[in-house]
Chain A
Amino acid sequence: MSSPVTGTGTLEARDLHVRAGSFPAVRGVTAAFREGEFCAVIGPNGAGKSTLLRALLGLTSPQAGEVRLLGRSLPEWTRAERARTLAYLAQGEGLPEAARVRDVVALGRGAGDWAWGLIPRRPWTAEDEAAVERALERTDTAHFAERRVSELSGGERQRVSLARALAAQPRFLLLDEPTNHLDLAYGLDIIRHARCEAAGGLGVVAVLHDLNLAARADRLVLLHRGQVLAQGTPAGVLTPAHLHAAYRLRVRVLHDGDRPLILPED
């Protein structure tokens, strides 16, 4: 697998239909996510955001349509290739409380190419070590790498999860509500890290609820009832008309430079 230097590959959903249980959560979504781009997926609860993310990762099989990763249909990828290329930070990801931060981050390193997916075939190498070290440094977690997870705050834990995902050195990073339960500073911190990784060539797709955080993305996809209501630049997507259609809520949109600011009206 040779990897192009930056920014050429895409992760695409083509007329994707996915069920969550028996509920048709995603109904005909077509969207492309690019390397080097920070894209936020927004929409009301139940719009199909998390289901879309899982289908993009190959964790849920679509009823119809397909996911294409770097030009190749996702089912054609082996489990190992997929695990190396796509990293996922699940909503409310669990962390083993008694584990050390460094060991948690190390878990991000390639389980995919194990024998039967269960038993490592090769020893831990200096390359693995370097990837873990780099992930710790990029997420500002290196200074508490030897501490146990149980001693960390919510914001620190989320950065550890982010480091775990980055340790795989993926081409795309998919985040499901990464700022949930985080205070203003920590939430912004995660978004800053995501932007920074995208600037470095990673494709970042984040499901976000906070529209003002989402406004910091390069591009937005607004989902409503399993379909794309709008996609494009934050200024183009975050309009009163779109938000009223999606959330049944009147909002005022202010502008801070070219970044929209959403104010709900009661």
Chain B
Amino acid sequence: MSLERPAAASTPRPWRLGRTAALVAVLLAAVVLAVGLGSVTIPPAEVLGALGRGVTSLWTGAALSPEDTIVWQLRLPRVAMGVLVGACLAVCGAAFQGVFRNPLADPYLLGVASGAGLGATVAIVAGWPRPLVPVVALAAALGAVSLTLALAREGRRLPPTRLILAGVVVGSVLSAVSTFLILRGEDRARQVLAYTLGDLGFSGWGDLATVLPYALAGGGVLLALGRALDTLGLGDLTARSLGVPVERLRLLVVLAASVATAAAVAYVGIIGFVGLVVPHVVRLAWGAGHRVLLPISALAGGTLLVLADLLARTTPLSQVGVVTTLLGGPFFLWLLRRGGHE
């Protein structure tokens, strides 16, 4: 029956190198564009020059021009944070969709966002100093996930359905507490809203340095688990028969993704739809294997968030979380109606 199988078919090319190269090029272009555009417009060539001079000044000690300072101290940290958070959310979303075998899973599924939101609300309403807010938010986000895991646990097992239900409950309760606090501390309501709605505007190198270790640790673990995540697509029993310790895998993915997401949410607020939509698009163009899906999602998520933030800064939409949700929602619906792949 298989006499006429085409020879080319036997060499899989999951990386789709042409597409991947194009994506990297778009990412780099987006970064240069985003660094250049703003209240002071800097042409791309100048941006590249400024980046080069900043790097060489590290050892020559030369002072930077005002324009170079704008690039290095204002624009670049914000853009870099965009790349990092976008990559994080997309990778975590892809991993969650794989581990829960649920195309609607996103990184906030287990209550991370509501936890961070509550932490930030408490800190802002209580009038604590601004630099403390993300720290409290991060602690609260990790606390929320721990609570979800504790509620969902069934002996040594961690059944996916219970995890999702526990996440929904924890999320709702914590959000209700936040709402209550916001209503009581009316005068600071706007501040809280601006914080939780997703904004890269406050990002400095210090914030980036805080988020980076969490993102690298969480993202690194997830990227290493690509093939194991693939086996989960066959169902728990089959994965176990293949020798994959399913409970350990699920716990590890949930922890890694939650740590990375918690750091992201704590420092930039809730940025919707990136973690949900990006993996779906990547799956359409690159296929479903997690070894490719996860890293490509990181690239695509980073690109998307930089562009979304650019739109937020240069239009009245003003906050990146508003942009991603406003554009991501309809796009996701279109993807669903298109009859997608799932």
Contact = CB atoms under 8 A, between A and B. Distances in A.
A135 to B, nearest CB: 12
Given A82-B243, A96-B288, A133-B10, A90 B5 contact: no
Contacts of B230: 96, 99, 103, 107
A146 interface: yes
A146 B12 CA distance: 8
Given A98-B287, A111-B231, A118 B241 contact: no
A107 B243 contact: no
Interface string A129-154: 00001001100101101101010000
- Interface size class, chain A: 35 or more
A111 B237 contact: no
A142 B2 contact: yes
A95 B233 contact: yes
A183 interface: no
Contacts of B12: 100, 102-103
Contacts of A104: 233-234
B216 to A, nearest CB: 17
B244 A118 contact: yes
Contact of A83 (B227, B235, B242): B242
Contact of A107 (B10, B242, B252, B341): B242
B296 to A, nearest CB: 14
Among B9, B230, B234, B284, residue most surrounded by chain A Cβ atoms (within 10 Å): B234
A68 interface: no
B120 to A, nearest CB: 34
A120 interface: yes
Contacts of A120: 227
Contacts of B245: 79, 116-118
Contact of A59 (B4, B231, B234, B240): B240
B159 to A, nearest CB: 13
Interface in B307-342: 341-342
Interface string B216-244: 00000000110110110111011111111
B234 A118 contact: no
B73 to A, nearest CB: 40
Contact of B234 (A57, A95, A102): A95
Interface in A74-97: 79-80, 82-83, 86-90, 93-97
Interface in B145-161: none
10 contacts: A100-B12, A103-B288, A107-B231, A111-B231, A111-B242, A111-B244, A112-B242, A116-B245, A118-B228, A140-B1
Interface of B: 1-2, 4-5, 9-10, 12, 14, 101, 224-225, 227-228, 230-231, 233-235, 237-245, 248-249, 252, 283-284, 287-289, 341-342
